Amino acid sequence: MKIYLDCIPCFVRQALEASKMATGDKTTQEKALRKVLSELGKTSLKGKIPSDIAHKIHRIVRKVTGNNDPYKKLKDEYNRKALKLYPNLKRMVARSKDRLLTATKLSIAGNIIDFGPGSEFDLEKTIEEVLVQDFTINHYDRLRRELRKSEKIMYLGDNTGEIVFDRILLEELKGKKITFVVKGGPIINDATIEDAKFAGIDKIAEIKTVSNGEPRTGPERNSKGFINLLKSADVVISKGQGNYEALSEVNANIFFLLKVKCPTIARDIGVKIGGIVVKG
């Protein structure tokens, strides 16, 4: 997905929010924000995707504040909250007439745990709403067919807490060889290997990493090596808005699962904010 001018104020908001989470010192917060504004002022948007700029501004915040993981407290909180919900989520799937459909919707409901677009949401209410909500883009039947005939599945995780909801869906794919991809280092509330292990993903999938914008944290999502890895899978399930931004134009058998929370993504994908999407 290309970057829009409307993304710029969102980057500034993220920088301010991350700075406040990283430190209580207002002078340092201001310094970080000014550096971000300066960087945005001289950065060309041509040929960029939103995550290119997001990685850059969060790198600045981490460096200026000296805090390598500003969202750590929130990430741990939502990992714990989601795990507490796990037994009830499993019961919802067990009681349902279509286990895979319910697990897919629960996975999408978990996508509300996203501090990139903002930090105000009601997780329990979202679960209730999504379970009775129609898909705004509905390629679920095709996803079901592809999953049935596939052997190798690559699952691109998104956020902490949310990955517990992903585990619900992964557990419905028994007998498949699953690779679960997370960030190699912390950025916003994106899930890392530590979070995936906390959620129990390592018991059902091999875990790999992609870059968070820093060296040695994994391949870039738009790198040739990573795209070839995507193409080696029979099916790719891509969770969340960030993965959609990075991979929406990649030619592979990708299904995007997300809850639309951002106006630019809503415009790009052609749905209203609040819509739930299975797009192949």
Please tell me the predicted confidence (pLDDT) of residue 145: 97
In this predicted structure, the answer to whether residue 2 has a pLDDT above a threshold of 90 is no
> In the structure encoding, which two tokens stand for residue 79, read together?
């990992």
In this predicted structure, the answer to whether residue 105 has a pLDDT above a threshold of 80 is yes
In this predicted structure, the answer to whether residue 118 has a pLDDT above a threshold of 70 is no
Mean pLDDT, range 201-206, rounded to an integer: 96
Please tell me the predicted confidence (pLDDT) of residue 85: 97
In this predicted structure, the answer to whether residue 116 has a pLDDT above a threshold of 80 is no
Query: Domain locations in the chain?
Result: 7-65, 72-279
Give how far the C-alpha of residue 6 lies from the chain's centroid of Cα atoms, to the nearest Å. Answer: 20
* CATH architecture for segment(s) 72-279: 3-Layer(aba) Sandwich (3.40)
Comparing 225 with 207, which gets the higher pLDDT? 207
In this predicted structure, the answer to whether residue 119 has a pLDDT above a threshold of 70 is no
d(CA 54, CA 79): 23
- CB-based contacts of 146, cutoff 8 Å, min separation 6: 234, 235, 253, 255, 280
The CA–CA distances, whole Å, from 33 to 16, 74, 161, 212 equal 6, 21, 28, 20
What is the per-residue pLDDT across 154-174, written as a single tens digit (0 to 9) for each?
999 999 999 999 999 999 998
Walk across the sheet containing 276-279 and list its strands.
137-138, 276-279, 254-259, 235-239, 152-156, 177-183, 206-210
Find the range with the poorest average confidence among 118-132, 135-149, 186-200, 224-238.
118-132
In this predicted structure, the answer to whether residue 243 has a pLDDT above a threshold of 90 is yes
- SS3 for 238? strand
Please tell me the predicted confidence (pLDDT) of residue 134: 97
Find the range with the poorest average confidence among 80-89, 113-122, 253-262.
113-122
What is the per-residue pLDDT across 14-68, written as a single tens digit (0 to 9) for each?
999 999 999 999 999 999 999 999 999 998 888 888 888 999 999 999 999 999 9
Comparing 122 with 134, which gets the higher pLDDT? 134
Comparing 118 with 98, which gets the higher pLDDT? 98
Mean pLDDT, range 176-180, rounded to an integer: 97
Mean pLDDT of the chain: 94
In this predicted structure, the answer to whether residue 117 has a pLDDT above a threshold of 80 is no
Q: Which of 50, 71, 47 is nearest to 61 (CA)?
A: 71
In this predicted structure, the answer to whether residue 115 has a pLDDT above a threshold of 90 is no
DSSP string computed for 125-147: HHHHHHHHPPPSEE-HHHHHHHH
Comparing 256 with 5, which gets the higher pLDDT? 256
Mean pLDDT, range 107-118, rounded to an integer: 88
What is the per-residue pLDDT across 217-235, written as a single tens digit (0 to 9) for each?
989 888 888 999 999 999 9
d(CA 74, CA 79): 9
C-alpha torsion sign, points 234, 241, 159, 216: positive
